[in-house]
A and B are shown apart, each in its own frame.
Chain A
Amino acid sequence: MDRAVAEFDRALSAVDGRAATSLVRELLDAGEDPLAVLVDVIAAGQRTVGERWQRGEWSIAKEHAATAVAVSATEVVARFAERTPVTRGRVVVACAEREWHALPALIISSAMRLHGWDTTLLGASTSPARLSQCLHDVGPDATAVSCSVLGALPTTRRFIEASTTAGIPVVVGGSAFGSDPTRALALGATAWAPNAQGAVALLDELPAVVRRAAPLPREPLAEQSAIELGHHRLVEVLRGRWSPAARAAPDDPLARKLFSAACGEVLHQALHAVSATLLTGDPRPIPETAAWIDRLLTARGADPRLAAELGDVLASTLRDFPTAHGLVVRHWADGLVLQGETAS
C-alpha cells in the first residue's frame, strides 16, 4: 500500500489521469480493500494537493487539475462499488451551497455503496430546494452532508432543516465541523462522522425517524444573517482598510498576482469563520482561520504581521455586530499565538 500511496502521489503531481486510474484499477484487481484505496490512497493523496496549494507550491490551476485526477480515480472505485449488491437502505449524499469540493462526497458515497447502501449523490454546491426535491422523491433512510469549508455551514443548516422536517436523520462530516461533534450537533445534525469509515458505521445506528431540528438561537442567527447578506459590501470594506498588496514582498508579477488572489480568498474566509461561530456557538473557527490565513500569507512571502492586522481590521469592520465583534476581539489572536508557538 505504501508503494501505491507514493505512486498515486506521483500521478497527482504529474496530473496524469491515466496513471492514477490504472493504479487504482490494479489495486482493486489485486483484491485490496476498496475502502482502504479510497481513504488511504486517494483521500490521503488529495490532502497533500490542498497542502501544496496552501504552501504556495502549486497554482490554483494545478491544484484543480490534480483534483480532477483524484476524482477520476475515485470514479473507478465508484464503478467498482456499483457491483456490490444493495443489502441496506438508501442514503442521499450531498454538498451544500458554496461547497465546491465534490471529492469527499464522492468518496463517502462510494464507501457507503461498498457497504450495501443504495446511494444517490448530488454534486457540488447543491441548493436546499434541490436536496428537498430529492428527499421527497427518494425517501432515503438518511442524508449525509459533506462540508469542508466554513462558508458552506449556513446552507448545511438549511440541509439539516430540509432533512429533519421530513423526519430523515442527517449525518454530517468534513473539515468545516472540526475534530469533535460540537458544531454538527449545534446545527441540529443527528450525528457527526469523523471520517468515511465513521460515517458508514454510523448509518446502522441512526434512528428511523428524527424530529425537526430545533430553531437556532435567535440573536446570533440574526447577526449571522445580516453579515451574510452584507458579505460583498463587508469584503469591499475589508479590502479598503487592509492593504496587504502594498506591503507584499514578491516582486515578480506572477507571484504578486497569486498573492493578491490569496488575499481575496482570505477576506471571504475571515467572514465565513465569523458566520460559522455565530451559527454554531463554537468560537474555534475564528482562531483556526486566523492561523490558516497566517500560514497562507507567510508562505507567499507576506509580512508576518499581516494576519494580526487583519484581525484588527475585521473587528473594527464588524463594530455594528456586537457578538461578532466581541468574538473576533477575543479569539482571533489566539490562532496567531498558537501559530507562532508551533512555528518556533
Chain B
Amino acid sequence: MAADSKVPISGPGRAAAEAFRAGGAADFLPFLWVTGQVALLTWVVDVYEIEQAAFGHVMQLTLVGFVVHHFLPPALKLPFFVLISVLALGLVLGAVNAAWVVAVGLALIGACHLPISFGKRIAMVVTLGATMVAFQAGWVSSGKISVIWPILGSMFCFRLVVYLYDMRTQGGAFGFWRSLAYFFMSPNVCFLLFPVVDYKTFCKTYYNDEPVRVYQSGATWISRGVVQLVLYRFVYQFLVMDPSEVASAGDLFRYMVTTLLLYLKVSGTFHVIVGMLHLFGFNLPETHHRWLLASSFVDYWQRINIYWKEFMAKLVFYPVNFRLSQREGISEKGALVLSVGISFFFTWLLHSYQWFWIRGTYLLAAPDMAFWGILGLLLAVNMLWQQKFVRKRSLKKGGGWSWKSDLSLGLRTVLTFMAICVLWSLWGAESIGEWLAMWAQAVRVEPGDVGLIGGVLLAVGLAGAMLGRSQREWTYQGAAGKGVAKAAATGLNWRQLGWAGAGVLASCAVLMTPVKTRLVYHASPQVASVLKSLRTSRLNVRDAAILEHGYYEDLTHAERFNPQLFELYSKMPAGMDVRIKGEGIRPTHDFRRRELVPAQSAVFSNGIELKVSAHGLRDREYDLHKPAGTLRIAVVGASEVMGWGVENHETFENLLEDWLNTHNTTDRYSRYEVMNFAVSGYGAIEKLIVLEQRVLDFDPDVLFYMANKKEYQLVIDRIVEAVRAGVSLPYDFLETITAEEGIDRDTHKVLAKGRLRPRAPEMLGLVYNRVASLCRDRGIQPVWVYVPQPGAEPPNRRDINKFFGHAEEAGFDILDLSDAFAGASTDELRMAEWDSHPNVAGHRALAECLKRKLQEHPRLSHLLLGDGVPIDRVGQVFKEPSRVQTKE
C-alpha cells in the first residue's frame, strides 16, 4: 500500500487549505463562524441526549478535533482524523476493546493488500470474515471482547466489499491513512447503522471544495440531522399507535403515516454522521433527499438512503444488467426486470446480513420479504414505464413548468406517498395477518377523519409541487467537474455562509428554548411537558410493553422493525436471554401462565438468584399462621414488586418490613410481616386470583395492591392470550364481555385487542371492586399503591389518573409513589438501559417513598404506625369505611 500522507488533499481544497494557513483574519472569521455553530450543536446534542451519552462525548471530541485538524498542514490531516477515530473508539469501548478493533481491522485491510492474486486475497478476507462470523454468532466464545464484533461488522461488512470492488476496478486511490480513515470513521463507534459510504466518492470528495464551505455544509447537515432526530422523538413518543388501537380510517391513516415517519431516525442519524465527516474535509454527498416528496417509485428509490441505492446499483444492478444484456434470448425489458428483481433480493438478503452483524441473530420474516418483493416489483414496473414513456426533464433550473405540470407533480407525489405509507405499514407489521386485521378494523369513518386525511395529503401534494423538483445536493462533480473549479475560483461567499449558519443557529435556538420559562409554561403546561419529554430518549408506551413482554416471550418482532428498540437491543450483550431460568418458576397452563415453585430457586439474567420460600413466595420464610401481635401486610404485584434482578433482602417490600420492625416504637404490634406474593408479568386479574387462592390463607391485615402503568393493557393482553390459547377465563364477567365483543379462539389478536380496548376501564373497575370487597369482607384493609418504573413512565398520565379513579371508586386507600425517583438520574435507578426494572438503588428509593407516603397518609399512618388501636381491633377498624367512601 502506498503511503499517501504527503498528498492527501488535491484540487481546490489543497490550495485553499494552504492559503488559509498563510492567511489572516479574513480567513479566520469564516472558520470561527462555523466553529461557533459546531460548538452550539455539541451543546444541543448533550442537552437532548442524542444517541445517549457516548455520542455526546464523541461530539465533544469531534469539536476539539475539528479545530485542531483545521490548522494542521495538509499532510497531517488524514493521520489526525484516524487518530480522532481511534480515540473515539477508546472513549466508547475502552482501551482494550479499541485496540482489538484496530488490530482486527488492520488484519482485514492488510489481507486486501497482500502481494498475492486478487482471488487469493478475496479468499483470505472471506476466511477472516468467517472467523468473525463464528465469534459474532457465539459459536466460538470471544469472552470480554465480544462487544467488538458488532462494531467491526458495522465498519467492514459493506465497506470491505466496496473497497475490494474499487480495488478491482481501480476506482480510487489507495493509501495507508486513506484506508484507515475509510474504515475507522469516527462516528461509526456510536452509530452501528451506518451509511454505506462509497470508497471512490470518499476519496474524490476529500477537500474538493473550499474548506470552510465543506465545514459549513457539515454543520448544516448535523443541525438538520438533530432536528430530524427530535422530530422523530415527537412522532415516536406522542403519535405512534399500536395496531390494536386502530379503530377507524383516520386511525389507520395515522398509523401508516407515523410508521413511515419513524424513518426520521435513520435519516437524521445519517445526516449527523455525514455532517461530522464534513468537519474533517470529507465533502460527501447527501444521504437522503426530501424522501417524503417522491413522485414515483423510481424517484423514491433515488431519494431515500441514496448511498444504499448507489451501492446496489454499483455492485448488483449494473453488473447483472450488463451481463444479462449480453446474453442471447434475453430482451432489454427482461434484463431490466431481472436485474431489478435480483437487486431487491440482495437488498433484502443484505439487510438480514447487516442485522446479523449488529445483533448476532438472523432476520427472516414474511413482512420483510413481502415489503422488498412488492417494492422491487413496483420499481420494475415503474422503470419499464419510464423506458417506454420518457419522463419529462428540463435543463432549466426549476423553470419551464406550467401549473398543469405542477398539479400533476403534486398529484403523483400524493399517490406515491400513500403507496409508500401502505408498504411501510406492511413492513412494520408483526405479520401479514396482523396487517390485514388492522385494515379490517378501519372500516369506520369518524367525523374528523376526512379532515385529517385530506389535510395531510393536501400538504404533501403542495410540498411536492413546490419542492419536489429540487435537485440533490451533490458535492462530487468528478475529476474534471467545472462546479468545483468554479467554486474555487469564486472563493468564499459570505452571504452563502451567513445564511447557512443562520439556519443552524435558528434550529439551535428553537431546540434550546427553555421549557421551564414562564412564557412556555403559562402558555401551556402540556406543551412545556412535551418539550421536556423530547429532551430524553425513552421508549414510548407501546415499545416499553414490547420490551417488557420480551422478558417472558420471544423477542424477534421487537427487534425487527423498530428503530428505538433496535438501538436498545443493539446495546445488549449479543445472545443475551433476559428470561428467568431455573426450577423456581414454572408454567401453570391456566390464566396466570406461571407461578413460583415452593422451596426452589431460579436465576435472573444478571445472575442474581431468585429464592422461593417454602410457601411459594419470593420472600423470607413466614408461618402460614400469623403469630400473635403481628401486623401482616400482603403484597400482590408484578416483576418490579417481586424484585426482578435484586436479592431477596433488597426488595422494597422487605426494606419496608425491616424499617417497620426497627422503628416500631409502640406496643401495638410486636412485629410486622410484609409478605410478597408478586409474580413477574401478573396483571390485575392474576393479582385477584392470587388474592383469592393464596393470600387469604395467610390471614393478612392489610393488602397492598401494587399497580403499575400497564393496568389496562395487561387486562386486555391476558384475556386475548387466554382466549386464543383456549384457556378458560377465571370470572364470569370476563366471559360475558368477551362474548359480547364476539371474541373467540380464531379472532386475530389485533382485532380482539381493538374490540376489548373500549371495555378495559369497565373490566379493571370490576376487578378492583372485587379485590376491595373481598378484603373488606375479611377485615383486610385494601391499599392501592402506584409503583412507577425508572425512566419508563409515560409523559401523559391520562390513563394512570383513570386507574386512581377506579381504585378510589372501589374503596382502596391510595398511595401514589410516582415521585419515588425524583431527583435521581434514570441510569442510577434501573437495571440497565434495556431493563427498566428498579435496581437496588431503585428499590431503596421506592421503600423510602412508601415509608414517607405511609407516614403522610392520615388514616394509614394512624392504623399502621400510630397509637391508640389495640391489635385485636385492627381488623375491625379496617372494616370501617375508608376516607374515600366517607366522602361519598
Q: Do A and B bind each other?
A: no
A interface residues (Cβ-Cβ under 8 A, vs B): none
B interface residues (Cβ-Cβ under 8 A, vs A): none
